[in-house]
Amino acid sequence: MPFVDFEEIVGKDSIIRISKKVSKVFEAAKYIKEYDGKKTLIFDNIKGSSFKLISNLFLNRNIIYKVLGACNEIESYKKLIYAMDNPSPPKIIDIGEFAKIDKLSQLPILKFYEKDGNYYITSSIVFAKDPETGFQNASIHRLMYLDDKHLAIRIVPRHLWRIYNKYKRNKCDTPISIVVGTHLPVYIAAATSPPYGVDELHVANRIMNNSLKLIITHNDILVPANSDFIIKGKILHDKYVDEGPFTDITGTYDIVRKQPVIKVDEILVSKSEPFFYQILPAGVEHKLLMGYPREAAIWKITSQIADIKSVRLTSGGCSWLHAVISISKKHEGEPTNVILAAFTAHPSLKRVIVVDDDINVDDPNDVEWALATRVQPAEDIVIINRARGSSLDPSSDQIKMLTSKWGIDATIPLDKNKDDFIKAKIP
């Protein structure tokens, strides 16, 4: 069972097994949505597949803290940043025990929402090597089922895109290995964005105290030895299809684009009770896996400017577009500098609110109270026009990825009586 650590981290009381036969089309998604952020689900009987399905592993932030061996938010940021700054090469071992299957349709690939373009794999970690430097990248991508030997892959202009274009310039296909289901630290590492040239598996190994073991697949690509499903293939350099519609982190449908096609050469399945992992689009663990590493990046930069107490990509802001940052304010102007630094650390951010450390960043009412009692719009709002933003925001220019951004200083002015801004208490 490659998910060797999930029961201990999630807790057995937080796991529900569903034994009844469940359809891949919408029905499984309904169960996952019902228990979103509440319970980890294991489906024992998915129609059309002999494999078990698992979902809702990252139920809340505390799961991430446990995976990182941290007691609180700031400690977890420090541990993740340390792992990215101090990657450690894992040990390579002989290939493990795997069986082969012939068709993608044998897997419990789901259709989640009514307008989805097709069935989707949402938890796939794609591994590829730079053809010039040999650097290996790992990143999480959605994969749209096309037929039993082909998938469409959504690639944004980041590291895999860079590798893919190096192969494409030479009219070559990009060899890849895809993993579905492995150690939870590998998922966190694959969701991060360390500098190009830092292998996310080395980051995961540091998180795991150098216990991660790797195996070699094709073209010298390395993947975790404890992997449930390994799909070997290549991204074709000259084949594109319409990808989507797909419900992304905002809960709205991302636009349909021409995206590359993957040709599948081989599908390996662990012989030790494999679980096919699926992440509910726009669900809690989608937001946590995408948003949490960006929170750490924001904390890393803003903590050099001010005494940062908490960073939160808010649920209402899709855990991607809106942030609330609490600080222990020492000087006027600090909140503005924090706002600008946050936009630099996470370019997809659209709004940043900076609050004092007496405000609970997880309580929208508390944040709104700070806006109501500590903000003068003419003085405390910063607006930036035509900035680089997120393609996921339907109100933006999703093709050019241009947006307007705003920051709000919702902190108490230092030249006023602080007691006038504090909530009254009954002794």
Q: What is the pLDDT of residues 313-325, one digit of tens each?
A: 999 999 999 999 9
Q: How confident is the model at residue 1 (pLDDT cuts 50, 70, 90)?
A: very low
Q: Which of 112, 181, 115, 106 is nearest to 148 (CA)?
A: 106
Average confidence (pLDDT) over 345-369: 97
pLDDT surpasses 90 at 272: no
Question: Residue 201: in which H helix or E strand, if any?
Answer: helix 200-207
Q: Which of 5, 311, 352 is nearest to 182 (CA)?
A: 5
Residue-level pLDDT at 5: 67
Q: How confident is the model at residue 95 (pLDDT cuts 50, 70, 90)?
A: confident
Q: How confident is the model at residue 354 (pLDDT cuts 50, 70, 90)?
A: very high
Looking at residue 6, the DSSP 8-state letter turns out to be H
Render pLDDT for 19-34 as a digit per residue (tens, 0 to 9). Answer: 999 999 999 999 999 9
From the number of C-beta atoms within 10 Å of its C-beta (0-12, 13-18, 19+), residue 295 rates as buried
Q: Which of 186, 233, 190 is nearest to 212 (CA)?
A: 186
Domain limits, CATH 3.40.1670.10, in the chain: 303-418
Share of the chain above pLDDT 70, in %: 99
Residue-level pLDDT at 3: 52
Contacts of 29 (CB under 8 A, 6+ apart): 110, 111, 112, 113, 280
From first CA to last CA, the distance across the chain in angstroms is: 55
pLDDT surpasses 90 at 4: no
Cα angle at 412 between 407 and 418, to 5 degrees?
175
Average confidence (pLDDT) over 286-303: 97
- Per-residue tokens: 205: 């190994």
- 357 assigned to active site: no
- Per-residue tokens: 386: 């035509």
Q: In angstroms, rounded to a whole number, what is the distance separating the alpha carbons of residues 411 and 370?
A: 7
Residue 241 burial (CB count, 10 A): 16
Q: Which of 199, 228, 248, 409 is catalytic?
A: 248
- The owner of tokens 């980041």 is 158
Render pLDDT for 224-267 as a digit per residue (tens, 0 to 9). Answer: 999 999 999 999 999 999 999 999 999 999 999 999 999 999 99
Segments of 81-147 assigned E as strands:
91-92, 98-101, 120-129, 136-147
- The owner of tokens 């304010």 is 329
Pairing of strands 351-356, 322-328: parallel
- Provide the residue type at 99 as one letter: A
pLDDT surpasses 70 at 2: no
User: Residue 253, SS3?
Assistant: strand
pLDDT surpasses 90 at 392: no
Q: Which of 197, 223, 196 is nearest to 212 (CA)?
A: 223
**From 170-174, 336-340, 419-423, the region with the lowest mean pLDDT:** 419-423
Q: In angstroms, rounded to a whole number, what is the distance separating the alpha carbons of residues 97 and 274?
A: 11
| Helices and strands per DSSP (H, E), number in the chain | 11, 21
Contacts of 233 (CB under 8 A, 6+ apart): 151, 175, 176, 177, 178, 262, 263, 264, 265, 266
Residue-level pLDDT at 137: 98
pLDDT surpasses 70 at 398: yes
Contact 189, 138 (CB under 8 A): yes
Average confidence (pLDDT) over 393-403: 86
Q: Which of 90, 68, 92 is nearest to 79 (CA)?
A: 68
Q: What is the mean pLDDT of the chain?
A: 95
- Provide the residue type at 55 as one letter: S
Q: What is the assigned CATH class of domain 73-281?
A: mainly beta
Q: In angstroms, rounded to a whole number, what is the distance separating the alpha carbons of residues 165 and 174?
A: 9
| CATH of 303-418 among 2.60.120.10, 3.30.70.1140, 3.20.20.20, 3.40.1670.10 | 3.40.1670.10
Domain limits, CATH 2.30.110.10, in the chain: 73-281
Question: Residue 189: in which H helix or E strand, if any?
Answer: helix 184-191
Peptide bond into 245 cis (omega under 30): yes
